[in-house]
Amino acid sequence: MLRRQPFDLKEYVGRVQSGPCFICEIVAGNPEHRHHIVYQDDLAIVFLNKYPTLYGYTLVAPREHREQVTGDFTLDQYLALQRVIYRVAEALRQVVPTERVYILTLGSQQGNSHVHWHIVPLPPGVPYREQQLEALRMEKGVLELSDQELKSLAARILQAMAGSQSTAFNR
């Protein structure tokens, strides 16, 4: 059983509403916004959630700052991102025991405005009342994972993605 640590939701909300775009900071390599990057190419970046509620919780974002989940992309660009999301979800299913993979986009023009997708593997055996949005709630704390655990997980996901037959972007 993975340990949880308390999470200060009020501090987090204040930071995302007043600070710089965390995804743009990750893309720029800002060490103050360090995350475990799983994969990146010219159009997308994939990284582990810094505050995971479930093991394997991964984010996919376009490298460029875009704010509208469909409106800021051509159909081809959107579908290219969906191919990456598919590859990440399939890699997670190979690496982490998974009953179901949740894929959703969250954010707001008021905070975390850079479009990104959450790919979250639900482990087998979670009671129904603790699934879906309830499983994503940070108020219950976030998983306490060591840097080495996160580094290993990121490497395993990347290795599984590398074994995927599909290409990330077909232009």
Mean pLDDT of 104-133: 96
pLDDT, the chain, mean: 93
Contact between residue 121 and residue 92 where contact means Cβ atoms under 8 Å apart:
yes
Q: Helices (H), strands (E): how many in the chain?
A: 5, 7
pTM over 0.85: yes
Mean pLDDT of 160-171: 62
Mean pLDDT of 108-118: 95
The four Cα atoms 128, 149, 83, 24 give a dihedral, to 10 degrees, of 110
Strand, coil or helix: what is 120?
strand
Banded model confidence at residue 163, pLDDT cuts 50, 70, 90: confident
Residues in a beta bridge with 39: 46
pLDDT of the residue at 59: 98
Tell me yes or no: is domain 4-162 CATH 3.30.420.40: no
Banded model confidence at residue 165, pLDDT cuts 50, 70, 90: low
pLDDT in tens, 125-154: 999 999 999 999 999 999 999 999 999 999
Please, what's the b/e burial string for 117-149 (b: 16 or more CB within 10 A of its CB; e: otherwise)? bbbbbbeeeeeeeeeeeebbeeeeebbebeeee
Banded model confidence at residue 170, pLDDT cuts 50, 70, 90: very low
How far is the C-alpha of 128 from the C-alpha of 69, rounded, in Å?
Answer: 29
Which residues have C-beta within 8 Å of that of residue 133, sequence separation ≥ 6? Answer: none
Q: What is the 3-state secondary structure (H, E, C) of 67-112?
A: CCCCCCCCHHHHHHHHHHHHHHHHHHHHHCCCCEEEEEECCECCEC
How far is the C-alpha of 170 from the C-alpha of 83, rounded, in Å?
Answer: 9
pLDDT in tens, 3-48: 999 999 999 999 999 999 999 999 999 999 989 999 999 999 999 9
- The DSSP output letter for 55 is T
